Amino acid sequence: MDHTTNTPHDAEVLDRDVDDLALDEDREFDEDDAIEEFDPFEGLSDEEIDAMADAEDAASDLGLVAGDTPEGFRSGFVALVGRPNAGKSTLLNACMGSKVAITSPVAQTTRRRMRAIVDRDGYQLVFVDTPGIHKPKDGLGSELNRSALAELSDVDVVAFLIDASVPIGRGDEWIAERVRASRATKILVLTKADKVDQTAMMAQLDRARELVDFDDMIVVSSTEHFNVEPFIELVSEHLPAGPRWFPKGMDTDTDDATLVAEFVREKVLLRTREEVPHSVGVVCDAFERTRKLVRAHATVYVEREGQKGILVGRRGEMIKHIGTDARRDLERLFGRKVFLALDVRVQRGWRDDEREIRRMGYAFEE
Residue 312 lies in a domain: yes
Q: 74, 70, 83: which is closest to 109 by C-alpha? A: 83
Q: Letter for the amino acid at 272?
A: T
pLDDT of residue 26: 42
CATH code of the domain containing 123: 3.40.50.300
CA gyration radius, the chain = 22
- Going by DSSP bridges, is the β-strand pair 74-81/123-129 parallel, antiparallel, or unpaired? parallel
* Judgement on whether residues 303 and 154 belong to the same structural domain of the protein: no
Residue at which a domain ends, from 180, 202, 237: 237
* Judgement on whether residues 324 and 209 belong to the same structural domain of the protein: no
Residue 243 lies in a domain: no
CB neighbourhood size of 169 (10 A)? 9
> What domain count does the chain have?
2
* Judgement on whether residues 90 and 226 belong to the same structural domain of the protein: yes
Which stretches of the chain drop beneath a pLDDT of 70? 1-69, 101-113, 130-153, 273-277, 361-366
Distance from C-alpha of 197 to C-alpha of 131, rounded to nearest angstrom: 28
* Judgement on whether residues 142 and 106 belong to the same structural domain of the protein: yes
pLDDT of residue 365: 53
pLDDT of residue 74: 94
Q: Letter for the amino acid at 231?
A: F
**H-type alpha helices, the chain:** 11-14, 46-61, 88-96, 139-150, 170-181, 198-209, 228-237, 256-271, 305-312, 317-334, 354-359
Residue 223 lies in a domain: yes
* Judgement on whether residues 233 and 258 belong to the same structural domain of the protein: no
Q: Which pTM value belongs to this model?
A: 0.61
Residue 187 lies in a domain: yes
* Judgement on whether residues 201 and 122 belong to the same structural domain of the protein: yes
3-state helix vs strand vs coil in the chain, percent to 5: 40, 20, 40
Residue at which a domain ends, from 170, 204, 237: 237
User: Domain containing 272: what range?
Assistant: 8-39+254-359
* Judgement on whether residues 227 and 288 belong to the same structural domain of the protein: no
* Judgement on whether residues 233 and 293 belong to the same structural domain of the protein: no
Residue 300 contacts residue 311 (beta carbons within 8 Å):
yes
Residue 53 lies in a domain: no
Residue 107 contacts residue 134 (beta carbons within 8 Å):
yes
Distance from C-alpha of 41 to C-alpha of 124, rounded to nearest angstrom: 30
* Judgement on whether residues 169 and 273 belong to the same structural domain of the protein: no
- Going by DSSP bridges, is the β-strand pair 114-119/293-302 parallel, antiparallel, or unpaired? unpaired
Q: Is 326 helix (H, G, I), strand (E, B) or coil?
A: helix
Distance from C-alpha of 321 to C-alpha of 299, rounded to nearest angstrom: 15
pLDDT of residue 229: 95
Residue 68 contacts residue 77 (beta carbons within 8 Å):
no
Cβ contacts of 325 within 8 Å, gap of 6 or more: 267, 270, 271
